[in-house]
Amino acid sequence: MSPKKVLLALTSYNDVFYSDGSKTGVFVVEALHPFNTFRKEGFEVDFVSETGKFGWDEHSLARDFLNGQDRVDFENKSSDFNMALAKVKTPKEVNSDEYKIFFASAGHGTLFDYPKAKDLQDIASEVYANGGVIAAVCHGPAIFDGLTDKKTGKPLIEGKSITGFTDIGETILGVDNILKAKDLATVEDIAKKYGAKYLAPIGPWDDYSITDGKLVTGVNPASAHSTAVRSINALKK
């Protein structure tokens, strides 16, 4: 197993979600910041989604979220980021033995497809069983809904500490009623469902990430970089 490969998961869900008619999908910086962090540390990074396709969360394209060097990297068709995205894999094209870190990026789209993404969940559980790290940021912990620890057969997050986007944050964004109407579980819901300890930041927009052994989680877009750094450090330990 190569010590220098990361598999970065993307949501395949890309449809109208917000009350203004905008689509959800991959939240740009929640894929871009981890990608750049891993590349800077010498890791190869491959992208994967359950269907091999993805689309952007349209709110994540706003200047408030995407500016400076991030926007330059995003708009440069020949950036390392875009070159890697052009080769998004399907799970069937992935050999889990090659990867030391499985990183679940986010966007509200993950709440729709990650809990049903059995192929992605299988890859993540195999990486973990091989001594690798599973990391997830913001809504990425939706991947844990149905994810089992291959060695114990129990839910992977049972008895562990995790974080992820807060219920308070959903209310502030004005999407809590949308989630209820669509019967979507929040990260806090998933933690309760599987007996995990949910840890919240002081403020929903703070940079906040935590490590529990080989499990690393972060709370929001501002935490994408620190979650990637923690996953590298968890791997070293």
What's the pLDDT tens digit per position in 118-151?
A: 999 999 999 999 999 999 999 999 999 999 999 9
- Determine the average pLDDT of the residues in 148-168: 97
- CA dist., res. 211 & res. 160, Å (int): 10
- Determine the average pLDDT of the residues in 9-19: 98
Query: What pLDDT, on the 0 to 100 scale, is given for residue 3?
Result: 58
> Residue 119, exposed/middle/buried by CB under 10 A (0-12, 13-18, 19+)?
middle
pLDDT grade for 1, boundaries at 50, 70 and 90: very low
- Determine the average pLDDT of the residues in 33-41: 98
**Does residue 170 carry a catalytic annotation?**
yes
Question: How big is the CA angle at 165 (ends 50 and 107), to the nearest 5 degrees?
Answer: 35
- CA dist., res. 220 & res. 131, Å (int): 26
Considering 50, 139, 188, 225, which one is annotated as catalytic? 139
Query: What pLDDT, on the 0 to 100 scale, is given for residue 237?
Result: 87
Considering 30, 50, 170, 188, which one is annotated as catalytic? 170
Instruction: Give the tokens for residue 114.
Output: 């990650």
Instruction: Give the tokens for residue 148.
Output: 């089992």
Which CATH architecture does the domain made up of 5-235 adopt? 3-Layer(aba) Sandwich (3.40)
Nearest to 151 by CA among 89, 94, 103, 213: 213
Considering 59, 138, 188, 225, which one is annotated as catalytic? 138
Instruction: Give the tokens for residue 137.
Output: 């940021």
- Determine the average pLDDT of the residues in 172-185: 97
Q: What are phi and psi of 9, to 5 degrees?
A: -85, 145
- CA dist., res. 144 & res. 164, Å (int): 11
- Determine the average pLDDT of the residues in 99-122: 98
Instruction: Give the tokens for residue 155.
Output: 């839910």
Per-residue pLDDT tens digits for 90-100:
999 999 999 99
User: For the chain, which residues make up each domain, given as ranges?
Assistant: 5-235
**Does residue 44 carry a catalytic annotation?**
no
Quote the mean pLDDT of the chain. 97
Nearest to 136 by CA among 237, 27, 236: 27
156: pLDDT strictly greater than 70: yes
The residue type found at 134 is: I
- CA dist., res. 208 & res. 199, Å (int): 10
